Structure 1
């Protein structure tokens, strides 16, 4: 510990000794030119006096820094305790600035760590809920398959298909959520025709539209509305919105789902409008929170509270804006704004 203390101040010690020696030599030469001499004892006394001041300064500096150096030494040997830098009194202004910098870095690190821990806990919670959610379809499918074999009833087979769709949507949601951690590594900016993407999704889910009695309507011409985005992730975003609209639309009641494209100021806007049950006014501000299902979650067993969260997260990653308005008993409108600050601009920086 003393060795480290002296090594840190070695340059000051050498400079002090050189300065003292130089001053002594100059003093001696000055009197030599005056045809007078200085006794060697006087020179030695002056040198020793300077040396005494140096040693005194080193002792005072060591006493002031001893506790600080001791704690640092214990910490480097693994004998220190957590919170060392918060409880340590720094001997110099420079050390205190360094301490403040360490505190700030630690606070940032702890904030990031808490964020990652919360994200991991949310993901684990969702996985657990999803597994529990899938147990019921497993049992139902097993019973329906057995009944279908015995009765040869096509209606039973249709019900099996419905349960299988629930499986498919649940699995897709799980996979997309698992990929969010590597979202930025899986982006490709490309020119996308929004109408083409919407038509493809509607065609893929046509059996769902037919079974639920919901009629899709696309307001816009193909080959007119282009944006820069990642088509794969944009499809996932739109699929979550469509699934939600289908789920909460009145079944077999001739409800419509409208995809309305319009141009705003330096924006292309897509409204997905359904005629579903709507969302309570006090629930609207929280619909994008993970696991939040609100009042509708108590009425619809399929609600996971993750579809809109996933859509919002993807929209943010793509540089798009996602908003929602709703009126209970009337329907819901989800709006995606493709502004000039798109994925194309983000990936070319």
Structure 2
């Protein structure tokens, strides 16, 4: 708000006063009133009026400029009412009360959805823990009956999908469920290799692990889940009997890159930039019905929450290389 726009809004009232002043000037002239008295009369008339407008302009300009400045500085714009002070002039009070009431209503609605989200997450977590019992019982029964290894491979996939559901439910609030600590990357890779050992054996896919001596900072549990999803994808799209999955690290500048490389079917170039989109399956997903399009989406979402990087390079019929990038400094992992 500038001086011109402020007084333009007052034009009608000022114009009426100027017309009235001219009318009085004509009357004073007809009555031969002394010029000094006329000047004094107009000073008492327009002096307080102009002074009121100037003070009102300064007060309103400062208030509205604060609103604009706060709005520009805030990353979360909806927090604006928290910074505002109720003004002393009527128009500002109306605006403030309206914004404050809107903010209150919005806050109440957000709390409703938060409670629903918490209830949903608690239900999913309870369901996951409950479903593990019959799955474990099924596994034991099948082992006693000497079932084919392929059946157990399918059970492993079911457990991975169940785990995916659990981590998806938790992914909206990762900050409440992670602990940053230093750990050797070999520790997580070994756990993931052990979890998928049956699939490697059943599909006759070779696993090569090299240069895994680096120490990284993150949450072990969440990193293990991300790595397990990536390895699971590599197994899913590798060719049986001739597949090779390589896991190794490369140290560059202030980061450590964990590479998971396979010689599988690869990803078409036209699909590559969309692989992290939720539910995207692409050309490979249409060929392989077991693809859900959620694995890489969830990996990317969790990596962002943990302040890790994730990228993917691939060439059709050649293979895929996924890089999970760890900052070397623990400080870089802490969200601001």
> Cα offset for 1:244?
0.7
> Cα offset for 1:254?
3.1
Match of 1:239 in 2: 228
Match of 2:175 in 1: 184
Q: TM-score, normalised by structure 2?
A: 0.59
CA deviation profile, 1:245-268 (whole Å, cap 9, x unmatched): 0111113x2311111223333432
> Cα offset for 1:51?
5.7
> Cα offset for 1:345?
3.9
Is residue 280 of structure 2 the alignment partner of residue 292 of structure 1?
yes
Match of 1:216 in 2: 207
Runs of 4+ in 1 over 6 A off after TM superposition: 45-50
Is residue 306 of structure 2 the alignment partner of residue 315 of structure 1?
no
Q: How many residues align?
A: 246
Q: State the SS of the aligned residue for 2:268.
A: coil
Q: State the SS of the aligned residue for 1:333.
A: strand
Q: State the SS of the aligned residue for 2:293.
A: coil
Conserved 8 A contact 1:189-1:344: no
Report the Cα distance in structure 2 between the residues aligned to 1:96 and 1:344, rounded to whole angstroms: 39
Conserved 8 A contact 1:290-1:305: yes
Report the Cα distance in structure 1 between the residues aligned to 2:151 and 2:251, rounded to whole angstroms: 42
> Cα offset for 1:230?
1.3
Q: State the SS of the aligned residue for 2:299.
A: helix
Conserved 8 A contact 1:190-1:344: no
Match of 2:65 in 1: 97
Conserved 8 A contact 1:271-1:335: yes
Decide whether aligned partners of structure 1 residues 55 and 228 sit closer, same or farther in structure 2, where only a CA change above 3 A counts.
closer
Conserved 8 A contact 1:321-1:338: yes
Report the Cα distance in structure 1 between the residues aligned to 2:243 and 2:238, rounded to whole angstroms: 7
Conserved 8 A contact 1:315-1:321: yes
Which runs of 5 or more residues in structure 2 are unaligned? 1-37, 79-105, 125-133
> Cα offset for 1:271?
1.4
Is residue 253 of structure 2 the alignment partner of residue 265 of structure 1?
yes
CA deviation profile, 1:178-210 (whole Å, cap 9, x unmatched): 111111222322111111210111112211211
Conserved 8 A contact 1:262-1:268: yes
Conserved 8 A contact 1:318-1:343: no
Report the Cα distance in structure 1 between the residues aligned to 2:320 and 2:152, rounded to whole angstroms: 28
Q: CA RMSD in A?
A: 4.3
CA deviation profile, 1:86-107 (whole Å, cap 9, x unmatched): xxxxx96456536646876999
Is residue 187 of structure 2 the alignment partner of residue 196 of structure 1?
yes
Match of 2:21 in 1: none
Q: What are the within-5 Å matches in structure 2 for residues 78-227 of structure 1?
A: 93-94=61-62, 97=65, 100=68, 109=77, 154-155=146-147, 158=149, 160-220=151-211, 224-227=213-216
Conserved 8 A contact 2:246-2:260: yes
Report the Cα distance in structure 1 between the residues aligned to 2:332 and 2:74, rounded to whole angstroms: 34
Q: TM-score, normalised by structure 1?
A: 0.57
Match of 2:334 in 1: 347
Match of 1:338 in 2: 326
